[in-house]
Amino acid sequence: MAAKDSPSNSDRGSSLDPSAEEIRRWGNAAIKAMADYHGSIRERRLYPQTTAHQIRERLERALPAEGSDFETVLATFQDAIVDLSRHNAHPRMFGYVQAPGAAIAAFADLLASMLNANLTAWRSAPAAVELERLTINWITKMLGYDRNSAGLFVSGGSTANLAALAAARRAKASEELLSKGVRSLPQEMRVYVSEETHHSVAKAAALLGIGRENVRIVRVDERFKIRIDDLVAKIDEDLKAGHLPFCVVANAGTVMTGAVDPLAEMSGIAQQFNLWMHVDACYGGFAAMAKSVRPLFHSIDKADSVALDPHKWLYLPVDCGCILYRAPETARATFAHEAEYTRVIAQEAEEAFAFWDYGPELSRRFRALKVWMLLKSVGVRTLSKAIEKDLACARHFEQLVQASDDFEMLAPVELSIFCFRHLPVRMKQALASANENTRRQVNEELDSMNERLLVELQRDGSSYLSNALIHGRFALRGCVMNYRTTSHDMEILLNDLRRVARRLKVKVSV
């Protein structure tokens, strides 16, 4: 092991430009750490019992004037970072919409950084750009999207939704929008979303100068899907008031309950009112590969744009979002610009291709490599099976809850998200009371009890859930998105909840 001040090291400029031998040594140490990590993931405490202070204590805080050897740096990574992290690859990590991070992608990320390809345009990274175009094409096939569509990888779903809204607005406004800004618009432009739509859409509207107040919130039905009657009513209302309806956003899997909006009906409405239809499929999109839910995605090919997150249900590590456009020239009209320093000089059309014409970013890392390596090494059949198993796990949990006498479901399971709460028998009886005041009081107690149960479960470290608000009530919420999760894990989750609930001293006043 080379000491940090050994002559050989300092002579050669230390770690900045390591020899091939040194790279091999670092690699072996890092790969061993990775193999140990994946090998022991199931046994790990899912969430660390730690504080900000404790983490800081484990990190040397001073800006390093001199370097340290790789082993020392790797040891700090293990002690301070790995040991004090939430382990997203754990089979009972059910919080938020969290992928495990397939191991193959760690190699792809390593090799992508090795090549340091910058995917601005074809001439900057010929092979990498071709690989991204191929991979995007594969994704359109997996989804059943239009054959002439195109798109690109972006940092995540939020950026994908932003790009879609920008393209939608440009498509329905005059060209002046890009030169003169929103003051060139004769009318307020309005976009329609359901109550369950991800907040990144409203954020995109705010950033683009559309304005949050021009995001019309449409009501949902009892299955948390957008209500077509309310959608049409809001469009009519806006037309009468002289506004310009320009876009409707459909959910293909909401983050709260996993609801998929009626895509065929929505595309009909979009056509009728000349609206751009965008589908936010960041959570649910890849479930289109699973036979049991495929019909839900029928008509997704009619959408003008689709936002996806391969860093969710393709099990990849962050970051990797994706935006697809049915007619790529609409995106080009939005994002292309004529600055001299990016002008492509006299090349054939294919080689003149530039990703900067289709999205907001210029420098872009080689995200396609991990998508390509995953698809090449795993294959679509295995991925579809893994997604099908995630769906089955969520349904199994729903059945467990329905068969129990101390839990209840708060929303139907559509994909792999389940929303439920702990409902002890004595409180269930009180809920059946005829007195509305009593029921309200019990519901409030259930809210606070379930909230404490969630915090205790997270601290406990065996299973991890997050929360949702369902009809104004606090819900425990889980999302199965991990090829390691089995139906047995769903049983463990319920047992963990019961074990933790016994520890809580629940005060019941009724």
Ligand X SMILES: *Cc1c(COP(=O)(O)O)cnc(C)c1O
Q: Which residues bind ligand X (CB under 6 A)?
A: 97, 156-158, 198, 200, 255, 280, 282-283, 309, 321
**Nearest-approach distance from CB 2 to ligand X, in angstroms:** 40
Asked whether the beta carbons of 208 and 161 are under 8 A apart, the reply is: no
Coil vs helix vs strand at 426: helix
**Nearest-approach distance from CB 200 to ligand X, in angstroms:** 5
Coil vs helix vs strand at 331: helix
CA distance linking residue 150 with residue 152, whole number of Å: 7
Pairing status of strand 417-422 against strand 473-479? antiparallel
**CB-wise, 283 or 286, nearer to ligand X?**
283
To 5 degrees, how large is the angle CA 469–CA 491–CA 429?
55
Coil vs helix vs strand at 507: coil
**CB-wise, 296 or 453, nearer to ligand X?**
296
Asked whether the beta carbons of 156 and 148 are under 8 A apart, the reply is: no
Token code pair at residue 363: 């420098």
**Nearest-approach distance from CB 307 to ligand X, in angstroms:** 7
**CB-wise, 201 or 457, nearer to ligand X?**
201
**CB-wise, 101 or 321, nearer to ligand X?**
321
189, β-bridge pairs: 244
Token code pair at residue 249: 């956003």
Question: Would you tell me how many other CB atoms lie within 10 Å of the CB of residue 436?
Answer: 8
As to burial, measured by CB atoms within 10 angstroms (0-12 exposed, 13-18 middle, 19+ buried), residue 482 is buried
**CB-wise, 156 or 359, nearer to ligand X?**
156
**CB-wise, 226 or 497, nearer to ligand X?**
226
Q: Could you tell me how many residues make up the chain?
A: 510
What's the Cα-to-Cα distance from 261 to each of 86, 174, 264, rounded to whole Å? 32, 30, 9
**CB-wise, 97 or 142, nearer to ligand X?**
97
**Nearest-approach distance from CB 287 to ligand X, in angstroms:** 12
**Nearest-approach distance from CB 456 to ligand X, in angstroms:** 26
Please choose, from the candidates 123, 124, 149, 120, the residue with its C-alpha nearest in 3D space to the C-alpha of residue 136. Answer: 149
**CB-wise, 121 or 289, nearer to ligand X?**
289
CA distance linking residue 499 with residue 456, whole number of Å: 10
**Nearest-approach distance from CB 309 to ligand X, in angstroms:** 5
Peptide bond into 357 cis (omega under 30): no
**Nearest-approach distance from CB 280 to ligand X, in angstroms:** 5
Coil vs helix vs strand at 311: helix
**CB-wise, 151 or 157, nearer to ligand X?**
157
Q: What is the CA radius of gyration of the chain?
A: 25
**Nearest-approach distance from CB 256 to ligand X, in angstroms:** 9
**Nearest-approach distance from CB 413 to ligand X, in angstroms:** 16
DSSP 260: B
